Amino acid sequence: MIKQKMLHEGKVKSIWTTDDPEICIAEFSDRITAGDGLKKAELPGKGVLLNKISSLLFARLAAAGVPSHFIWAIDDSSMLVKKAQLLPLEVVVRNRTAGSICRRLGLAPNLVIEPPLVEFYWKNDAFHDPLLTREHIAMLNLVSDEQYAEIVKQALAVNQVLTKVFAQAGLDLADFKLEFGLSQGQVLLIDEISPDSCRLWLAGTTQGLDKDRFRNDTGDVLEGYREVLKRLLATEK
């Protein structure tokens, strides 16, 4: 597969075209950002860790019958992915209260949310990714009712699989963010699944191994990410 031109440079990843029009390369950089991109740093080795974690999780999802854009990891920091048209939504699934839902609703952290909550945010930097109701999504014509229902279904299926995978690794999946695209007209899980986009707590605690270490300066970020990978790899034996 020949890497051709950069299609999109994100805050953390870049997407490249290949000689196959249906296939792209997603390359993880060593950058990390938080707080609307205001806080940023370069953490050498982060891209490799994220590529390994994301690839492993997408493979586990595929094995459990949940498809995504992931094809395979082609080198240390890149995955081969199916080309998809990005939907401008961030889909958050919450099993425990943390982060913005605590700030917004004045809730204590680590309350169990049952059934899990699925939230939608508009991927829109100018408006700081606002929370959207289903009616806003319809009004803005972001996705159809059918696509909305399909996204909720897939997000909950991802949650079921990942909650189990992380539990085997001794980690509680408090919440996470997913992105979806359209591939041949169908809703498809895209982007990444990693400690940049998940809150992962040592089982039975609120001790995070995820990006909250960077957001809140609560520990060595890469050490947390390495521990997540080590624990996930141990579940594959």
Smallest gap from residue 57 Cβ to ligand UDP (A): 14
Which CB atom, from 13 or from 177, has the smaller least distance to ligand UDP? 177
Smallest gap from residue 215 Cβ to ligand UDP (A): 7
Smallest gap from residue 5 Cβ to ligand UDP (A): 26
Q: Are 28 and 78 in contact (CB under 8 A)?
A: yes
Which CB atom, from 74 or from 165, has the smaller least distance to ligand UDP? 165
Q: Which of 69, 28, 56, 51 is nearest to 166 (CA)?
A: 56
Cα–Cα dist 140/137, whole Å: 5
Which CB atom, from 22 or from 130, has the smaller least distance to ligand UDP? 130
Cα–Cα dist 132/145, whole Å: 14
Cα–Cα dist 231/170, whole Å: 8
**By Cβ distance, which residue is nearest to ligand UDP?**
99
Q: Are 32 and 46 in contact (CB under 8 A)?
A: yes
Cα-Cα end-to-end distance for the chain: 30
Burial of 3 (0-12, 13-18, 19+ CB in 10 A): middle
Q: Catalog residues that contact ligand UDP under the rule CB under 6 A.
A: 90, 92, 98-101, 129, 175-177, 197-199, 211
Cα–Cα dist 213/211, whole Å: 5
Which CB atom, from 22 or from 203, has the smaller least distance to ligand UDP? 203
Which CB atom, from 122 or from 148, has the smaller least distance to ligand UDP? 122
Smallest gap from residue 13 Cβ to ligand UDP (A): 12
Smallest gap from residue 199 Cβ to ligand UDP (A): 4
Q: List, in sequence order, the alpha helices (H) in the chain.
A: 46-63, 100-105, 134-139, 145-168, 212-215, 221-234
Which CB atom, from 18 or from 194, has the smaller least distance to ligand UDP? 194
Smallest gap from residue 196 Cβ to ligand UDP (A): 6
